[in-house]
Amino acid sequence: MEEGMSGFCIRDGSVRGNSGSTGTKCGRWNPTTEQVKLLTELFSSGLRTPSTDQIQKISTQLSFYGKIESKNVFYWFQNHKARERQKRRKVSFDDDKDVNIRRENSMNFSTQNFAYQVSEPESVIETLQLFPLDSFGESESEKLRVHSNECWDTKMFSYTMGEQMNHPPLDLRLSFMST
Amino acid sequence: MEEGMSGFCIRDGSVRGNSGSTGTKCGRWNPTTEQVKLLTELFSSGLRTPSTDQIQKISTQLSFYGKIESKNVFYWFQNHKARERQKRRKVSFDDDKDVNIRRENSMNFSTQNFAYQVSEPESVIETLQLFPLDSFGESESEKLRVHSNECWDTKMFSYTMGEQMNHPPLDLRLSFMST
DNA sequence: GCAATATGAATGAATG
DNA sequence: CATTCATTCATATTGC
């Protein structure tokens, strides 16, 4: 719930432009070009949801290029995957009701800039060897997730637990204003 | 890629700054600040996996601040707990290089003059009193759970296991996926 | 500078 | 409880 802690970013220039983090004290991680490049390589190599272990390694590797945390890697893959799918989804079915205010044909800006992986795959592979990419079989085949459910209604689901009959004294004491 | 494609969700800009008006057609519950505050209080008080009864009560109470369902409470606790752990896991590895100390106790948004009563302060207290506040006596800030030992969480029940008690055959698993 | 967009971060919801 | 997906928020970046 750390929501309000944002808004104190002091950027001193384009972080993505320079590789050496110029002491940018940002609240938000700003990946360097090298970091993005590597992440992108990994992604295009098939890695989509790295495990915690992989995240650690990747983070460690990327830390060479600049400040980075594990969660950044985590979020990066989450976002990257989600957005790729999102883009694809946007063009797939554009038959909405009528209030469809979506931007049409957003493919102008090179749908995927992952193209430059062919430039120098060698060096990348060398780096990638640290992480066992095995999740290639996952592919990007949509799961066709159906949002069938949308009605919990008022019926109270019971995610039963073992003992609920006479559950012990619940410690629901609110410590409001316990200043 | 953030455009107004979701034109049916009414927002007034502030995410959690609004009370109740969480849009009407939003398919996703958007907790108000008050709701989040209360939930956080409960969580901080040690409540991690509320029982069905507790969820009911909490939900009822929170409904005062805005539209809410039981499942929202259920999910909230699930997520909150999971993310506490997850966060502790990913941020655990502080990068060796650039010794950045961005984490300066930015856990909770301080309870500043954020008094949660814009109009009726009494009702809030009244509301809170509905919770069975058992005076356990062990009132201490359990926020110091540095070891992530869910001590107070006696049993890590799994709601996936069917209990053969005298309660109806609970579905444990969200059975709302009909329709 | 502002609008539009790209993207890091957060979180509700759902599944295994 | 873990993992993942989808949506949204906040901010950085870029073009005009």
Given a contact cutoff of 8 angstroms between Cβ atoms, the answer to whether A42 and A22 are in contact is no
pLDDT in tens, B62-99: 999 999 999 999 999 999 999 998 877 776 564 344 44
Nearest by CB to B163, which of A102, A155, A162?
A162
Q: A51: distance to nearest CA of chain B, Å?
A: 11
Comparing alpha-carbon positions, the chain B residue that sits nearest to A101 is B5
Comparing A147 with A76, which gets the higher pLDDT?
Answer: A76
Tell me which nucleotides of strand C come within 7 A of a protein CB. Answer: 5-16
CB A69 within 8 A of CB A96: no
Is the CB of A63 less than 8 angstroms away from the CB of B179?
no
Mean pLDDT of all residues in A85-102:
56
Delineate the domains of chain A, giving CATH numbers in brackets. Answer: 33-91 (1.10.10)
Please report, rounded to a whole number, the percentage of residues in chain B having pLDDT higher than 90: 31
- SS3 annotation, chain A: CCCCCCCCCECCCCCCCCCCCCCCECCCCCCCHHHHHHHHHHHHCCCCCCCHHHHHHHHHHHCCCCCCCHHHHHHHHHHHHHHHHHHHHHHHCCCCCCCCCCCCCHHHHCCCCHHHHHCCHHHHHHHHCCCCCCCCCCCCCCCCCCCCCCCCCCCCCCCCCCCCCCCCCCECCCCCCCC
| Partner-chain contact B41 A175, CB within 8 Å | yes
Measured between CA atoms, the residue of chain A closest to residue B94 is: A69
Partner residue facing A172 (CB), from B42, B108, B165? B42
Pick from A84-88, A118-122, A170-174, B89-93: least confident: A118-122
pLDDT tens-digit profile of A6-51?
334 333 333 453 333 333 445 899 999 999 999 999 999 999 999 9
Name the band, by pLDDT with cuts 50, 70 and 90, for residue A92. Answer: low
